[in-house]
C-alpha cells in the first residue's frame, strides 16, 4: 500500500475523524457563519492535499453547509475518487496542482484554507510562502492532524524508543517540499501565524488505537519499520523482531499517536 493510496486514506479516515478536535471545527464554522451573505450564502473552502476528501466529509458531518469545496491535490486519482463520492451532492471544484507552486494555488475568494494530515510533510519555506498568501487576503486557516512525534505502544518493547527516534528523524526528511517540519509543524505554524496577527488555537487530536483498528495499526507498523530500515543504523534482525512483536500485539495492545489541530482566525 503506497503512503497516499486510496486504501490507506480510507483506513485512516475513521481514526482521523474520531481524533479531530471538534471544538476547533465548531469555532471555525461559527466564525465562517458570521460571514454569511444572505444573497450569496456559499463560502469557499480550499482544502490543500485533499486526498479523497476526508476534510470535506469530516466538516460536513460536523455541520458545514453552503460551501464551495475547492479540493487541491497532485494526485488526480484521489481527486477523481472525491468527485465519485460527492460530485452530485456537493459543489466541488477539483484542482490537480502541485502545492509547492504556492503563488499559483487557487486561493481566490477563499474564506478558509484547510488541510488534514499534511503540514508535518511540508517545509518551513512552504509554510512561510503560504502564510504570506493567506495573510494578504485575511483568510482563515485550519490544519488538522499534524503528527507531534509521540508514539506510545502498550505493551512496551525494548526497541520502541530506538524505532521512534529514527522514525521522527525520518519525518524531518524531504517529502517533496524541502526538509519537512515533521513533529515541529504545529509549533512552527502557531508562531508564524501569531506573528502575522492571527488568533491561533491549538488542541491535541491523538489517535487512540486498539484492536478495533487492527488493519490500520498493521499498516502503521509496516510503514514505520520500512521508514527506519536503511538509514538509521538499526540492526536488521532487531528491527524484524520488533516488527514481529508489534504485529503479534495488534489485537490486544494499544497505540497512541500524538497529533495537533490548529485553527487560525484573522484579527477582525
- Tell me, residue by residue from 52 to 91, as one string, x for binding to ligand SAM by CB under 6 A and - for no binding: --xx-----------------xxx--x-------------
In whole angstroms, give the CA distance from residue 31 to residue 10: 29
φ and ψ of 8, to 5 deg: -70, -45
Give the nearer residue to ligand SAM in terms of CB position, either 68 or 241.
Answer: 68
Distance linking the first and last C-alpha atoms of the chain: 45
Q: What is the DSSP letter of 46?
A: E
Residues in 115-134 at the binding interface with ligand SAM, rule: CB under 6 A: 116-118
Query: What grid cell was written down for 203?
Result: 488542541
Q: Rule CB under 6 A: is residue 100 a binding residue for ligand SAM?
A: yes
Give the nearer residue to ligand SAM in terms of CB position, either 34 or 108.
Answer: 108
Q: Rule CB under 6 A: is residue 143 a binding residue for ligand SAM?
A: no
Give the nearer residue to ligand SAM in terms of CB position, either 62 or 74.
Answer: 74
* Among 24-32, 113-121, 152-160, 186-194, the segment contacting ligand SAM (CB under 6 A): 113-121
Among 99, 239, 255, 262, binds ligand SAM (CB under 6 A): 99
Give the nearer residue to ligand SAM in terms of CB position, either 4 or 232.
Answer: 4
In whole angstroms, give the CA distance from residue 71 to residue 110: 12
Give the nearer residue to ligand SAM in terms of CB position, either 4 or 31.
Answer: 4
Q: Rule CB under 6 A: is residue 50 a binding residue for ligand SAM?
A: yes
φ and ψ of 121, to 5 deg: -90, -15
Give the nearer residue to ligand SAM in terms of CB position, either 111 or 116.
Answer: 116
Residues in 206-245 at the binding interface with ligand SAM, rule: CB under 6 A: none
Least distance in Å: CB of 16 to ligand SAM? Answer: 6
Give the nearer residue to ligand SAM in terms of CB position, either 56 or 234.
Answer: 56
In whole angstroms, give the CA distance from residue 103 to residue 143: 19
In whole angstroms, give the CA distance from residue 253 to residue 155: 6
* # residues contacting ligand SAM (CB under 6 A): 19
| Cα→Cα distances 62→151, 185, 199, Å | 27, 25, 22
Query: What grid cell was written down for 225?
Result: 519499520
* Among 26-34, 98-106, 184-192, 204-212, the segment contacting ligand SAM (CB under 6 A): 98-106
In whole angstroms, give the CA distance from residue 142 to residue 262: 6
In whole angstroms, give the CA distance from residue 53 to residue 80: 10
In whole angstroms, give the CA distance from residue 41 to residue 80: 26
Contact footprint for ligand SAM (CB under 6 A) = 4, 9, 16, 49-51, 54-55, 73-75, 78, 98-100, 116-118, 176
Amino acid at each position: 500500500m503506497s503512503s497516499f493510496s486510496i486504501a490507506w486514506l480510507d483506513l485512516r479516515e475513521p481514526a482521523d475523524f474520531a481524533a479531530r478536535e471538534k471544538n476547533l471545527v465548531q469555532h471555525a464554522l461559527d466564525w465562517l457563519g458570521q460571514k454569511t451573505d444572505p444573497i450569496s450564502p456559499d463560502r469557499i473552502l480550499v482544502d490543500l492535499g485533499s486526498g479523497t476528501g476526508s476534510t470535506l466529509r469530516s466538516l460536513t458531518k460536523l455541520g458545514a453547509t453552503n460551501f464551495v469545496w475547492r479540493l487541491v491535490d497532485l494526485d488526480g486519482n484521489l481527486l477523481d475518487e472525491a468527485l465519485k463520492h460527492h460530485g452530485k451532492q456537493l459543489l466541488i471544484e477539483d484542482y490537480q496542482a502541485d502545492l509547492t507552486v504556492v503563488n499559483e494555488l487557487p486561493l481566490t475568494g477563499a474564506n478558509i484554507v484547510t488541510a488534514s494530515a499534511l503540514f508535518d510533510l511540508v517545509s518551513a519555506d512552504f509554510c512561510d510562502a503560504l502564510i504570506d498568501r493567506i495573510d494578504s487576503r485575511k483568510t482563515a486557516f485550519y490544519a488538522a492532524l499534524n503528527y507531534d512525534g509521540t508514539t506510545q505502544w502498550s505493551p512496551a518493547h525494548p526497541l520502541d524508543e530506538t524505532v521512534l527516534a529514527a522514525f521522527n528523524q525520518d519525518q524531518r526528511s524531504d517529502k517533496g517540499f524541502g526538509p519537512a517540519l515533521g513533529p515541529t509543524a504545529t509549533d512552527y505554524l502557531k508562531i508564524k501565524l501569531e506573528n502575522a496577527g492571527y488568533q491561533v488555537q491549538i488542541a491535541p487530536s491523538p489517535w487512540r488505537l486498539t484492536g478495533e483498528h487492527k488493519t490500520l495499526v498493521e499498516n502503521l507498523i509496516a510503514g514505520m519499520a520500512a521508514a527506519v530500515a536503511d538509514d538509521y543504523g538499526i540492526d536488521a534482525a532487531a528491527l524484524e523482531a520488533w516488527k514481529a512483536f508489534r504485529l503479534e500485539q495488534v489485537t490486544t495492545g494499544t497505540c497512541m499517536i500524538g497529533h495537533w489541530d490548529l485553527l487560525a482566525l484573522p484579527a477582525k
